[in-house]
């Protein structure tokens, strides 16, 4: 298709002629059939809702078709309206536009829906099984049309994928404001999501799916590498290296699939259980998994050989994680580090496959007999925890990987609760990411080169490495290790060939580092060294953007971890300090109703106005969370905040007085 025809189709929005129906592409990975949750009258409402996007002369045909989609797939995706052009990141000027910022947003949306990037592209799901960019293809088409015609004096408003419209606004306000899955708190259960989503009125935007900030697997490879490296430091008794240590976990899916690659970058032996042969095949052909075993006897022999030979190797076990933990316990295989990355944020619809049942049987049972399936999941979780408890009794360091494993296991009645009511095991944020990274402001900093040119990406790698090199020299000992890990990462990033989709990169930096790198990029764009604008953003797995009591904020101990003021303030504060777009989500990572998180995007165009926005917005985007963590009495955050106040005029944050525990003990008696 020519660029002109591509532009014409985008600008057209909903086509004036009804397009031909699209065949169901068997080659692609599709979302599982969703639960049949609507009553008969609600089904009529869902169809009526869907028809709102179309002129009356389409209704006769579409009403029958949408009724069929609802019956067969549990959702109305409007497959017929999937565009004929290839959806992928392109040079920003290839998108029809009147506003550069709007073109950059189109690039980011397109990347999230690219067949090579998205998990279920035809159902508009980017990752995590249910992380939606839009609910249906009409929303996609209308949004792209609005973006193609909007000016820098309008703001596009998106409610859970639905483009509410373009509204007049100021040139310095965000061009786009997105919310996903925001509901009245009492209506936030898993079944509420199923129902509202089936009605076409809400969606689960995960974190970077519905905020258009997904950059393929490298984001997660980076985060997982940092986690495994730091977990290794935690268990290292005499500063010994990670070589020869064994890491066991589950999942080779969207994010979990990064585990073997990251484990190898960190230098350990890893065994990851995965029940779905297709998921294993993807990671194996990609070269992220070195060897695959379905026979536990052979696997055990290989693991003993790999650990004693201190090999760096990643092994997939094709089977259930429960069987792996149990058998390793029986065989006395010592596991140094253990975790789990089944999708327990979505336990009843394909996120977790119970032991004792084949993959196919589980898939059938979850929609045919949901209650029996739920019971199987619960008893499998109990077995899994019993086996893990045997290992940790022998010394294994086990942590929850933010997938709601401990939460769902506890709900299933598994032995994961200590007498004081807390979980027996820490979350990776409580033990690793929180005290080592977030409290100091270290978090995800990602960028996408809008020229779509690898040469620009290489330049940005070099610029950011140069900045980190300068900053590390004067950084205090508390943050030197994080600086060094990220400097090493960015120097090697190009060689690791992690780009899938847009020309994107990620590293972790603190507020000072993020601002310095962004300003340097902006200057390089102004000087014509970088050939086109750069989009800057982050995932929501960060210092300030996310309130998630069992993950990002699990290391907040002042009782406020179930509040969500920080995440909401973050988005509001980013929006008036210069973000090009902001998004606020219910759900993401650990499940609907379990987390509130927000994100942003900012388009760097080389202007001095943008430099001012960078300084304002990134400073707030990190220090909001540090201030909250400091108020919660987290040591690292109190240190980072003191440092920040010394160098930032105008920053005055309320700091806590720390009361003596003994004195309170006496007072309460
Ligand atoms: N990687 C990270 O840094 C990170 C951070 C936070 C949260 N998470 C969470 O990790 C989870 C996984 O994310 P994802 O994108 O990979 O999801 P996914 O659904 O793509 O992958 C999960 C995989 O687990 C497999 N699986 C399920 N039950 C199994 C079992 N009993 N035994 C063996 N394999 C089993 C599934 O077949 C699937 O391939 C999510 O809940 C996500 O929110 C990951």
Confidence of residue 67 (pLDDT cuts 50, 70, 90): very high
- Note whether 87 and 114 are within 8 A (CB): yes
Residue 525 has what pLDDT? 98
Distance 434 CA to ligand 1 centre (A): 21
Distance 342 CA to ligand 1 centre (A): 3
Which ligand 1 atom is nearest residue 404's CA? 41
Distance 340 CA to ligand 1 centre (A): 8
pLDDT digits (tens, 9 = 90+) for 324-366: 999 999 999 999 999 999 999 889 988 999 999 999 999 999 9
Q: Which helix (H) or strand (E) holds 259?
A: helix 258-266
pLDDT digits (tens, 9 = 90+) for 370-407: 999 999 999 999 999 999 999 999 999 999 998 999 99
Pocket test for ligand 1, best of 321, 342, 381, 437 (most atoms within 8 A of CB): 342
Q: Are strands 154-159 and 176-180 parallel, antiparallel or unpaired?
A: parallel
| Binding pocket residue ranges, ligand 1, CB within 6 Å | 127-129, 220, 223-224, 250-256, 258, 273-276, 279, 320-321, 341-345, 351-353, 401-403, 589
In whole angstroms, give the CA distance from residue 633 to residue 449: 39
Q: Are strands 581-586 and 397-398 parallel, antiparallel or unpaired?
A: unpaired
Q: What is the DSSP string of 272-307?
A: EEES-HHHHHHHHHHTS--EEE--HHHHHHHHHHHH
Distance 352 CA to ligand 1 centre (A): 8
In whole angstroms, give the CA distance from residue 65 to residue 77: 10
Residue 612 has what pLDDT? 98
Pocket test for ligand 1, best of 29, 31, 214, 256 (most atoms within 8 A of CB): 256
Which ligand 1 atom is nearest residue 403's CA? 41
Q: What is the DSSP string of 520-578?
A: HHHHHHHTTSS-S-EEEE--S-SSSSEE-TTTTTTT--SS-TT--HHHHHHHHHHHHHT
Which ligand 1 atom is nearest residue 354's CA? 31
Distance 264 CA to ligand 1 centre (A): 19
Sheet holding 246-250, edge to edge: 291-293, 313-318, 269-274, 246-250, 337-338, 397-398
Pocket test for ligand 1, best of 255, 376, 430 (most atoms within 8 A of CB): 255
- Note whether 354 and 362 are within 8 A (CB): yes
Distance 572 CA to ligand 1 centre (A): 31
% pLDDT > 70, the chain: 100
Residue 254 has what pLDDT? 83
pLDDT digits (tens, 9 = 90+) for 37-46: 999 999 999 9
Distance 251 CA to ligand 1 centre (A): 5
Distance 414 CA to ligand 1 centre (A): 19
Range of lowest pLDDT (426-435, 601-610, 660-669): 426-435
Distance 524 CA to ligand 1 centre (A): 39
CB neighbourhood size of 240 (10 A): 11
Q: Three-state DSSP class for 611?
A: helix
Which ligand 1 atom is nearest residue 346's CA? 41
Which ligand 1 atom is nearest residue 128's CA? 15
- Note whether 274 and 318 are within 8 A (CB): yes
Which ligand 1 atom is nearest residue 119's CA? 20
Which ligand 1 atom is nearest residue 320's CA? 32
In whole angstroms, give the CA distance from residue 83 to residue 140: 10
pLDDT digits (tens, 9 = 90+) for 492-546: 889 888 898 999 999 999 999 999 999 999 999 999 999 999 999 999 999 999 9
User: What φ, ψ does residue 339 adopt, rounded to 5°?
Assistant: -155, -165
Which ligand 1 atom is nearest residue 588's CA? 43
Residue 367 has what pLDDT? 87
- Note whether 28 and 115 are within 8 A (CB): yes
Residue 59 has pLDDT above 80, yes or no: yes
Residue-averaged pLDDT of the chain = 95
In whole angstroms, give the CA distance from residue 208 to residue 227: 20
Residue 313 has what pLDDT? 97
Distance 479 CA to ligand 1 centre (A): 30
Q: Three-state DSSP class for 344?
A: coil
Distance 255 CA to ligand 1 centre (A): 7
Minimum CA distance residue for ligand 1 atom 17: 128
Strand partners of residue 292 = 316
Minimum CA distance residue for ligand 1 atom 11: 343
Residue 651 has what pLDDT? 97
Distance 221 CA to ligand 1 centre (A): 14
In whole angstroms, give the CA distance from residue 458 to residue 505: 10
% pLDDT > 90, the chain: 88
392: CB partners within 8 A, 6+ apart:
338, 398, 424, 425
Residue 237 has what pLDDT? 76
Residue 167 has what pLDDT? 98
Which ligand 1 atom is nearest residue 224's CA? 3
Distance (Å) of CA 502 to CA 89, 152, 219: 5, 24, 12
- Note whether 210 and 105 are within 8 A (CB): no
Confidence of residue 129 (pLDDT cuts 50, 70, 90): confident
Confidence of residue 631 (pLDDT cuts 50, 70, 90): very high
Residue 89 has what pLDDT? 98
Beta-strand runs (E) in 363-512: 397-398, 443-449, 504-509
Residue 32 has what pLDDT? 85
Pocket test for ligand 1, best of 403, 408, 409, 585 (most atoms within 8 A of CB): 403
- Note whether 549 and 562 are within 8 A (CB): yes
Q: Three-state DSSP class for 414?
A: coil
In whole angstroms, give the CA distance from residue 246 to residue 244: 7
pLDDT digits (tens, 9 = 90+) for 212-236: 999 988 888 999 999 998 899 888 8
Pocket test for ligand 1, best of 129, 219, 251, 361 (most atoms within 8 A of CB): 251
Distance 366 CA to ligand 1 centre (A): 17
Residue 423 has pLDDT above 80, yes or no: yes
Query: Which long-range CB contacts under 8 A does 154-160 form with residues at least 24 apart?
Result: 156/102, 160/135, 160/201, 160/202, 160/203, 160/205, 160/210
- Note whether 313 and 290 are within 8 A (CB): yes
- Closest residue by Cα to residue 245 from 231, 259, 255, 258: 231
Distance 292 CA to ligand 1 centre (A): 18
Distance 274 CA to ligand 1 centre (A): 9
Residue 286 has what pLDDT? 84
Distance 432 CA to ligand 1 centre (A): 19
Minimum CA distance residue for ligand 1 atom 34: 274
65 DSSP assignment:
H
Residue 35 has what pLDDT? 85
Q: Taking every pair of C-alpha atoms in the chain, what is the biggest distance, in angstroms?
A: 79
In whole angstroms, give the CA distance from residue 180 to residue 159: 6
Pocket test for ligand 1, best of 126, 341, 444 (most atoms within 8 A of CB): 341
- Residues composing the chain: 669
pLDDT digits (tens, 9 = 90+) for 299-327: 999 999 999 999 999 999 999 999 999 99
423 DSSP assignment:
B
């Amino acid at each position: 298709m020519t660029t002109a025809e591509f532009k014409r189709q985008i600008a057209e929005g909903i086509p004036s002629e009804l397009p031909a129906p699209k065949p169901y592409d068997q080659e692609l990975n599709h979302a599982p059939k969703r639960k049949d949750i609507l009553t008969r009258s609600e089904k009529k409402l869902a169809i009526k809702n869907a028809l709102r996007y179309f002129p009356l002369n389409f209704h006769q045909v579409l009403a029958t078709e949408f009724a069929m989609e609802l019956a067969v797939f549990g959702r109305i995706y409007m497959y017929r309206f999937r565009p004929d052009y290839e959806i992928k990141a392109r040079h920003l000027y290839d998108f029809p536009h009147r506003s550069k910022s709007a073109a950059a947003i189109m690039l980011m949306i397109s990347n999230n829906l690219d067949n090579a990037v998205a998990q279920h592209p035809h159902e508009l799901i980017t990752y995590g099984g249910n992380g939606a960019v839009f609910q249906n293809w009409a929303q996609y088409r209308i949004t792209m049309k609005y973006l193609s015609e909007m000016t820098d004096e309008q703001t596009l408003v998106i409610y859970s994928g639905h483009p509410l419209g373009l509204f007049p606004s100021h040139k310095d306000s965000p061009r786009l404001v997105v919310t996903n899955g925001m509901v009245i708190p009492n209506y936030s259960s898993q079944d509420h999501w199923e129902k509202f989503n089936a009605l076409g009125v809400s969606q689960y935007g995960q974190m970077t799916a519905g905020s258009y900030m997904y950059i393929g697997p490298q984001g997660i490879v980076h985060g997982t590498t940092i986690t495994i490296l730091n977990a290794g430091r935690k268990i290292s008794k005499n500063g010994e290296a990670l070589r020869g240590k064994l890491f066991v976990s589950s999942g080779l899916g969207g994010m979990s699939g990064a585990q073997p690659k990251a484990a190898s970058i960190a230098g350990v032996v890893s065994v990851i259980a995965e029940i779905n042969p297709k998921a294993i095949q993807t990671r194996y052909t990609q070269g992220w998994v070195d060897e695959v075993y379905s026979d536990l006897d052979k696997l055990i022999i290989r693991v003993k050989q790999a650990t004693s030979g201190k090999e760096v190797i990643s092994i997939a076990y094709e089977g259930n994680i429960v069987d792996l933990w149990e058998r390793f316990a029986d065989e006395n295989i010592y596991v140094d580090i253990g975790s789990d990355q089944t999708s327990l944020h979505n336990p009843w619809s394909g996120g977790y496959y119970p032991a004792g049942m084949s993959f196919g049987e589980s898939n059938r049972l979850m929609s045919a007999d949901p209650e029996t399936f739920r019971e199987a999941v619960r008893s499998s979780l109990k077995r899994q925890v019993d086996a893990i408890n045997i290992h940790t009794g022998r010394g294994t360091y086990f942590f929850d990987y933010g997938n709601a494993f401990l939460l769902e296991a506890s709900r299933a009645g598994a032995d994961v609760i200590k007498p004081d009511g807390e979980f027996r095991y820490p979350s990776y944020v409580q033990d690793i990411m929180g005290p080592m990274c977030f409290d100091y402001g270290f978090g995800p900093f990602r960028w996408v080169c809008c020229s779509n040119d690898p040469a620009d990406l290489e330049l940005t790698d070099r610029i950011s490495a140069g900045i980190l090199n300068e900053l590390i020299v004067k950084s205090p000992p508390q943050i030197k290790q994080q600086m060094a890990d990220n400097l090493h990462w960015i120097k090697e990033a190009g060689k690791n060939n992690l780009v899938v989709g847009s020309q994107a990169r990620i590293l972790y930096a603190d507020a000072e580092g993020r601002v310095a790198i962004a300003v340097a990029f902006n200057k390089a764009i102004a000087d014509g060294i970088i050939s086109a604008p750069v989009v800057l953003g982050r995932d929501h797995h960060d210092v300030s953007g996310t309130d998630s009591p069992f993950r990002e904020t699990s290391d907040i101990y002042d009782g406020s971890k179930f509040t969500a003021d920080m995440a909401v303030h973050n988005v509001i504060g980013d929006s008036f300090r210069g973000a090009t777009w902001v998004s606020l989500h219910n759900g993401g990572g650990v499940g609907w109703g379990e987390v509130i998180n927000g994100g942003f995007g900012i388009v760097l165009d080389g202007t001095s106005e943008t430099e001012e926005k960078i300084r304002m917005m990134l400073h707030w985007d990190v220090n909001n969370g540090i201030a909250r963590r400091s108020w919660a009495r987290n040591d690292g955050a109190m240190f980072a905040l003191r440092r920040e106040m010394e160098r930032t005029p105008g920053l005055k944050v309320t700091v806590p007085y720390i009361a003596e525990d003994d004195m309170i003990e006496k007072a309460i008696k």
